[in-house]
Amino acid sequence: MFTILVTNTKGGCGKTTIATGLAGAFAQTGWRTVLADCDRQKSSLGWASRRPAGAPAITPVNWSKDTQPLPPKTQLLVIDSPAALKRKRLDELVRIADVVILPVLPSVFDETTTRRFLSTLDKLKPVRKGKRPIAVVGNRMRARTRTAARLNKFMSEVGQRSVASLRDTQLYPASAAAGLSLFDLATRRAANFVDDWQPLLSFIDEIKALREG
Ligand SMILES: Nc1ncnc2c1ncn2[C@@H]1O[C@H](COP(=O)(O)OP(=O)(O)OP(=O)(O)O)[C@@H](O)[C@H]1O
Ligand SMILES: [Mg+2]
C-alpha cells in the first residue's frame, strides 16, 4: 500500500481539493483507492458520498476521531487532514505516510504559516532522517498576477520541495459539488487543468517506484 498525506495547518489552502483530486487520479488508473478523512468537517467524506455510481470507486473512511482499519487489499491511501492538527496526530499520520503534500495559496499569510509548518515537519523523526519526502504544491495560481509572482518566489525558496502549481478555476468547486475530481471530467477544458497535476503525479510515481524497488 502507498500512502499520501495532504496536510497544512493553514485553513482553506486546498487540502481537500488536492486529496480528492489525487484519489480521483489514482482510482481512474484502476488502483483500489481509499480516502481517509481526518477532519471533523468531513468534507472528503461528503465528497465521496456525492460520487456518482458510474465513477471509478473510491472508498471513504472516517478517521475524524482516530485511525480506523482499512478495507483489505487497499493499494492507495490518501489522507485528508484538518488545518487544526495536534502534534501527536500529525506525528502519527506522518509515520503512516510515504509522502507528504503541502498545498499553499498565493498569500503572504499562507506562505508564513507554511514556512512555520515546514519547520515543524522537519523536526519529526521520519522527515529528519530523509524518509518522508515533502512536496509543496502552489494552489489557485492566477497567471500574470502579483500574488502569483510572489508564490513563484516562495516556491523557488523551498527549492526541490516545490513540485507543482495548480491554477485557479471554478472547475474545482463545480466538480467537488458533484463528487467528482477533474480526472473524472471528460472535457477538453478539464484536460487542460489536469495538465497542472502531471508534475505532482510524476513526483508521486517516482517515490512509489523507489519504495517498491
Ligand atoms: N485551484 C483552485 N481553484 C479554484 N478554487 C479552488 C482551488 N483549490 C481550492 N479551491 C476552493 O477553495 C476552497 C477551499 O479549498 P479546500 O476545501 O480544498 O481547502 P482545505 O485546505 O481542505 O480547507 P480546510 O482547511 O477548511 O479543510 C473550496 O471552496 C475549493 O473548492
Ligand atoms: Mg479540508
pLDDT of 137-165, one tens digit each?
999 999 888 888 888 899 899 888 999 99
pLDDT in tens, 106-128: 999 999 999 999 999 999 999 99
The atom of ligand 1 lying closest to the CA of 39 is 27
CB 26 within 8 A of CB 3: no
pLDDT band of residue 211 (cuts 50, 70, 90) is confident
Find the helix or strand (DSSP H, E) in which 35 lies.
strand 33-37
Tell me how far apart the 2 most distant CA atoms of the chain are, in Å: 48
Residue 45 has pLDDT above 80, yes or no: yes
Query: Given 3.40.1350.10, 3.30.499.10, 3.40.50.300, 3.20.20.190, which CATH number is that of 2-212?
Result: 3.40.50.300
Domain ranges of the chain: 2-212
Question: Which atom from ligand 1 is nearest to the alpha carbon of 17?
Answer: 18
Q: DSSP of 59-110, one letter per residue?
A: EEEE-SSS--PPPTT--EEEEE--SS--HHHHHHHHHH-SEEEEEE-SSHHH
Q: Measured from the CB, is residue 17 less than 6 Å from ligand 1?
A: yes
Q: Cell 485557479: give the residue.
A: 168
**pTM for the full model?**
0.97
